[in-house]
Amino acid sequence: MYYRDFFEKLIMGEERMKGTICIDGVVGAGKSTLGEILAQELGIEFFREPVLDNPLLDKFYYDKKRYSFPLQVFFLNKRFKMIKDAEKLNGCVMDRSIYGDVIFAKMLMEDEDMTPEEFDVYEELLHNMLEHIKRPRLMIYLENSVEKAMEKIKRRGRDYEQIVPVKYWETLNENYREYFENYNISEILTINVDDLDIKENPEDRRYFIDLVKSKLAEAEGR
């Protein structure tokens, strides 16, 4: 299992960043929406994933072999900067983070869109970066079925996401589950969001916020 080996050879210190929460999950799980809600509730800054101002993302979906490696390096660089900025704060919420970045790179290599040599360079760079940063206080994994995720993807209508085959989203979901089954960098809270409407339903929103606050209190030893 790749992810088990990845975490076993990972070198990181034990120090945690105060109040830093990462939200991760497949495309369409609701990371941005829930991240904004949580950041507002806790009165801390929200770091949005670098998607909208990404000059490579559109090109990548139409020519993966050409743009896979530079795109992954772009994301890795931006996420490393986000972590350095987060370390200066008393708390923040991150829409994806450097800690889960390897999922996409691994898939690109397995699909032969990234060469094994490129992946080795990427993985070494990632490990070197992780060795010099602190662990987050909490990781939230939004568990989501492929069917529900695709419904949200269709609703938001990003052109480059509409051309992606269903098989890709299925493989992505499988990789996410395996990754978080082996994740050991910090405390983790897994929430299945298939039947939750946290954006529009006040009861679902309260349920989500209470779960996070309870886990945070547990992580901080209170």
Give the residue numbers marked as catalytic. 95
Q: 13 a known binding residue?
A: no
199 labelled binding-site residue: no
Known binder of ligand: residue 26?
Answer: yes
162 labelled binding-site residue: no
Task: Identify any residues that bridge with 27 across adjacent strands, giving them in sequence order.
Answer: none
The answer to whether 30 is a known ligand-binding residue is: yes
What φ, ψ does residue 82 adopt, rounded to 5°? -60, -40
Q: Confirm whether residue 146 is marked as ligand binding.
A: no
- Asked if residue 49 belongs to a known ligand binding site, the reply is yes
86 is in an annotated binding site: no
28 known member of a binding site: yes
- Token pair 């679902």 is found at 204
Contacts of 17 (CB under 8 A, 6+ apart): 83, 86, 87, 134, 135, 136, 137
Distance CA 207, CA 221 (A): 21
Per the annotation, binding residues are 25-33, 49, 61, 72, 96, 101, 161
